[in-house]
Structure 1
Amino acid sequence: MSSLPRRIFKETQKLITEPPPGISATPHEDNLRHFKVIITGPATSPYENGIFNLELFLPDNYPMVPPKVRFLTKIYHPNIDRLGRICLDILKDKWSPALQIRTVLLSIQALLSSPNPDDPLANDVAEHWKKDENGAIAKAREWTQTHAK
């Protein structure tokens, strides 16, 4: 851990000792900038009871640049594409070095509660969401049952 910048060390310690509700982030033993993340689908969302695996990587110039995060578990969501990439402002142009790994993970969890089909990454899913929200939510639930267990 000594080669890690103090900030990353402190953020990692806090994530392990005080994990946000429904989120766990554990650094890989061989690369402490690479995290295995598990996010539980928020209650009352189509992703409720789902266990979603993500990977998070801190680039060398973190915190000046955002972490790289992607879903490894398949998910039906307008802001997450087939490759698991996430459309979230703080992972792009709204990033600030004041934000932390914890903030990013909480924001991703919040995105599961409130999909935004008007800023999509998966256009087909967003179209489905706009045309038939109930149908899209049902499909998101079905994918959660199938893939996020």
Structure 2
Amino acid sequence: MITLNRRLKKDHPEPTNGISSDPVRRISVRDKLLVKEVQEMNENLPASCSVHFQDPNVLSEFVLTVAPDEGYWVGGKFKFSVFVTEDYNMAPPKVKCLTRLWHPNINTDGDICLSLLRQTSIDEHGWAPTRRLKDVVWGLNSLFTDLLNFEDPLNIEAAEMYNKNKTEFQAKVQEYIAKGKR
């Protein structure tokens, strides 16, 4: 994992004559936080999750893969793009599901209904500056187990199908998983 000091030295090497012609580059609060939080996130990943950075020097963008080992979605692999904005940690990361799936809390456009990802939430479980990237990872992972919510769905059709016919719901989930493996 790249450290912030190495990143700064790489981006702005020390001048040989001791005089710098470039103005001093300020490190954003986000970037300072990300160095610690990415390491913490990687150390605390659930067994069913993995993280991939397209560019290891850009800690603000990564893809999270969740491969549930229990529940309706077992056998599937679901990818989420995570983008940490400049106003992090005062605002939550932007998260989008990249894999089409049949889920009551994720719609077909990849939008996600998870209170942790909301700036404000009436249930007091929304984003707060004390939250970390590991909380986002654990929250997304839990959407496939204990945070699954059929009472307040984003995909109403999926929730209604579950309430009416769990066998049909399971078949539809598996149909989507099968399509994703092709």
TM class, shorter-chain normalised?
0.7 to 0.9
* Match for residue 161 of structure 2 among 125, 128, 133: 128
Equivalences, count: 148
- SS at structure 1 position matched to 2:75: coil
Alignment of 1:52-91 (within 5 A): 52-91=78-117
Distance 1:49 1:31, change over 3 A: same
AA aligned opposite 1:133: K
By percentage of residues, which structure has more strand? 1
Q: Contact (CA 8 Å) 2:45, 2:137: kept in 1 or not? A: no
- SS at structure 2 position matched to 1:11: helix
Alignment of 1:1-149 (within 5 A): 1-2=7-8, 3=27, 5-29=31-55, 31-43=58-70, 45-92=71-118, 93=121, 94-114=126-146, 115-148=148-181
Relative contact order: is structure 1 or structure 2 higher (C-alpha 8 Å, sep ≥ 6)? Answer: 1
Distance 1:18 1:79, change over 3 A: closer
Q: Rg: which structure is higher? A: 2
Displacement, 1:109?
Answer: 1.1
5+ long unaligned stretches in structure 2: 1-6, 9-26
Displacement, 1:39?
Answer: 1.0
Q: What's the TM-score, normalizing by structure 2?
A: 0.73
Q: Greater CA deviation, 24-33 or 124-133?
A: 24-33
5+ long unaligned stretches in structure 1: none
* Paired-residue identity, %: 28
Q: RMSD across aligned C-alpha pairs, in angstroms?
A: 1.9
AA aligned opposite 2:137: L
Q: Distance in 2 between matches of 1:6 and 1:12?
A: 11
AA aligned opposite 2:180: H
Q: Deviations over 1:105-131 (max 9, x none)?
A: 111111112431211111111211121
Q: Contact (CA 8 Å) 1:42, 1:112: kept in 2 or not? A: no
